[in-house]
Chains A and B, each alone.
Chain A
Amino acid sequence: MSAVGAAANTQVLLTVDGVTVDFDGFKALNGFSMTLDRGALRVLIGPNGAGKSTLCDTIIGRVRATSGHVYFKGEDITNLPEYQIVQRGICRKFQTPGVLSSLTVLDNLLIAARSDRRWWRSMTAASAAERARADAVLEQVGLIERRDMLAGELAHGEKQWLEIGMVVATDADLLLLDEPTAGMGPAETSRTAELIHSLLGRHAVLVIDHDMSFVEQLGGRVTVLHQGQFLKEGSVAQIRKDPDVAAVYLGRVEH
C-alpha cells in the first residue's frame, strides 16, 4: 500500500484532500479537506445546501470529484466503483431509510453481513459467522423481536435503526450516517445517540445532522461546512459559541 497524503499517520482512516464537486458550474463542494481517525466520531453540520450529503456521496463513489482525492487506509479510492469502495470498508446509511422492504429484518441484515460477496456464493446458505453477526446486530439495534417481520412493515424509527444495523453488519471501518434521526421523536433520538456511542472504537462514524440537541447528545468533534467549504472545527461547546457559525445559520454572512 502506498503511503499517500496524511496516511503516514496510521491512526488516520479517511483523508478527504481538496475535493471539489462541480455540478455544471455550481460547486457543491469547493476544495474541502478533512481527516478522520480510526474508531473516532465526527459530526458534520451546516445549513441546507452546504454540501454535507455531497461529501458522503463523494466518499462512497455515488458522485465523482471534479478535482481532489479521497484516501481510505492510505489508498486512493476516488474513482473506484461503489461496491468496491464498500468492500474496502466504508458503508453509508442514506437520508431516507433504504431498507429492503419485501425482505425480513433478518434477511436485510444477512445481506449486509455477507462476507463473501461473489454472486455465485449466494447459492449456498449463510455461514454460521454471518448468522451470528446478524443476530448480534439485531440485539444491538434493539430489533430482535422484529427479526422475522418484513422490513416494509416496520415503524419509521425502526427502519432507521434497521438501516444503521445493516451498515454496522457490513463490519465496515467507517460508517457514514446521513441524518440518522430524521423523523424521530426525542426518545428515539436519544436511543440513536446511545447506539452510535456503542459503535465507536470498533467503527469510525461520520454523522450528518442538523438537529443541535442530537449533536449535543452525541458529543465528539464537530466540523461545520458552509457553501461547500470548511468553516470551523471544534467541540460542540466551541461551535455553539462561535460567531461565524451563528452567522451562517442565521443567514447573515458578513465579510
Chain B
Amino acid sequence: MTAPRPLLRHVWIVFLLLAAVAPWIVSPYELSLLGRFLALSILALGLVLVWGEAGILTLGQGVFFGLGGYVLAMHLKLAVLTPQEIPDFMTWSGRSELPWWWQPFTSPGVALAAVIVVPGVCAALFAWAVFRRRVVGVYFALITQALALCFATLLVSQQELTGGFNGLTDFSTLLGFDLAAKGTVWTLYWITVAFVTLSFLGLRWLMRSRFGTMLRATRDGENRVRFLGHNPTPYKVFAFTISAMLAGIGGALFTLHAGVVSPALVGVVPSIEMVIWVAVGGRGSLWGAVAGTLLVNFAKDEISSALPDAWLYVLGVVFILVVTLMPRGVAGVIEDAVPRLRPASPRGKVATVISPAGGAS
C-alpha cells in the first residue's frame, strides 16, 4: 500500500479549524444551529459504536439524550431560585414543595456528573437485563422503542414534576454565566466542538482496540464468539452504556444551546430520526455519523421553514434511498471515491488492497 497522501489524510485538521473559527464566520443564528447539531452528533457518534460496530439497532437513544438534557435542565431551573422557591411550573400545578429527587440537582457538580452518570447507569442496567436474556435484533429494537415511548409518556403525564408537554425551558445562568451573553454562547459552542473531538478520538481508539474487534466479531457471529469461550454480554452492555453516556452529554449540550428540553425531543420519532442521521452518514464511520447529523439537520431546518409539512416525507424518502442505494451512507460513497481516506485499520487495508487477490483463491 502506498503511503496515504498527507493532504487527504489530514483533511480533518481543516474541518476542525473551520469549526473552531465558525463563530467569527457565521451568523449568530447559524452558530446556534451548528452548536445544536454538533451536540446531536455526539449522540450520533455513540450510535456508530453500538449500531455500526456491535450491530445493535437501538430505537431508544432519545431516552438517554433526554436524561442528560433533563438532569441539567433541572439544575438550570433551580439555579436561579432561592432555597424556599420552587420552579414556576410546579407552582402553577399547585405544588408547594420541591420533590426530594429534585433536590440534589441544586448542586451544579451533582447535575454535571449526573449528565453522564444517570444515562450510563440506566443504560447499563437495562442492557444487562436484556442482553443477558439474549434478546437480539428486531426484538431488541422494539424493546428500546417501547422504552422511548414510556419515557416520553411519563414526562408528559407528570406535569407537576417534569414540566409536562412543554418540558423545561426559560434558563438564564449556568455556573453564574449569563446564558444569553455572547461570550457564554461562543464558549459553549467551543466546548461542544471539544466534546465532539474527544468523543471521536475516544471512540476511534476503542474501535481500533481488541474491544472493537470483539464487537465486530459479536455482530458477525455472536454464537461463534460464545463458543470460542467469550461471554458476549459485557461487551454489548459496555458499548451500549458508552453510547448512552455520549447521548446524555449530547442532550445536555443541546439543552444549553436550544434553551429547552421537552418530551418532543426524546420520544419515538426523534429516536428514529437519530438512527436516520447515522444511516445517512454511514453507520460504520465516525466522521460519516457527524456529517450525516449535520447534513440531515441543516436540511431539516431549511425544508421545514420552506415547506413545513413536507419534512417527514422528505426524510422518509431519503432514508429509503440511502438504505437501498448506499447502505454504507455518505461515508461509504466518499470512501469508495477516495480510497485513501479510509481509516488505517485492518478492515480498511484489507478491503482496498487484498480483495482483488482474493479472486485468485
- Which residues 93-136 in A have Cβ within 8 Å of B in the complex? 94, 98-104, 106-108, 110-112, 114, 117, 119, 122-126
Q: Shortest beta-carbon distance, B20 to chain A, in Å?
A: 30
Known contacts A148-B354, A149-B350, A149-B354; is A102 also within 8 Å of B219 by CB?
Answer: yes
With a cutoff of 8 Å between Cβ atoms, the chain B residues found around residue A104 in the complex are 346-347, 350
Q: Is the interface of B mostly helix, strand, loop or mixed?
A: helix
B226 at interface by CB-CB < 8 Å: yes
Which of B138-146, B228-236, B269-277, B326-334 faces chain A? Answer: B228-236
Contact A60 to B227, CB < 8 A, known contacts A100-B220, A103-B220: yes
Q: Show 25 residue pairs from A and B whose CB-CB distance is below 8 angstroms, ordered by the A residue.
A: A82-B226, A86-B229, A87-B229, A92-B227, A94-B227, A98-B223, A100-B221, A100-B225, A102-B220, A103-B217, A103-B220, A108-B217, A111-B213, A111-B217, A117-B230, A119-B238, A122-B209, A122-B213, A149-B358, A150-B347, A150-B350, A150-B354, A153-B358, A154-B361, A170-B228
* 16 further contact pairs, Cβ within 8 A, besides A117-B229, A126-B210: A82-B227, A83-B226, A100-B217, A102-B220, A104-B347, A111-B213, A111-B225, A122-B214, A123-B210, A124-B209, A124-B210, A125-B210, A148-B346, A149-B350, A170-B228, A170-B229
Q: List A contacts of B226 (CB < 8 A).
A: 82-83, 86
Q: Give bound CA distance, A148 to B354, whole Å.
A: 8
Residues of B contacting A170 in the complex (Cβ-Cβ under 8 angstroms): 228-229
Binding site for A on B (CB under 8 A): 206, 209-211, 213-214, 216-217, 219-221, 223-231, 234-235, 238, 346-347, 349-351, 354-355, 357-358, 361
Cβ-based interface call for A177 (8 A): no
**Chain B CB within 8 A of A245 CB:** no
Asked if A148 meets B361 with Cβ closer than 8 Å, knowing A101-B220, A114-B230, the reply is: no
Among B213, B231, B347, B354, point to the contact of A83 (Cβ < 8 A): B231
Most buried by A among B225, B229, B235, B347: B229
A174-233 CB contacts (< 8 Å) to partner B:
none
A100 proximity list for chain B (CB < 8 A): 216-217, 220-221, 224-225
Verify A148–B349 contact, CB threshold 8 A. Answer: yes
Report chain A residues within 8 Å CB of B349. 148
* With known contacts A119-B231, A149-B350, A98–B221 Cβ distance under 8 A: yes
Chain A residues with CB under 8 A of B355:
149-150, 153
In the bound complex, residues from chain B placing their C-beta under 8 Å from that of A99 are 221, 224
Kindly list chain A residues whose C-beta atoms are within 8 Å of the C-beta of B217: 100, 103, 107-108, 111
Given known A104-B346, A111-B217, contact A91–B210 (CB-CB < 8 A)? no
Complex CA distance for A86 and B228, rounded to whole angstroms: 6
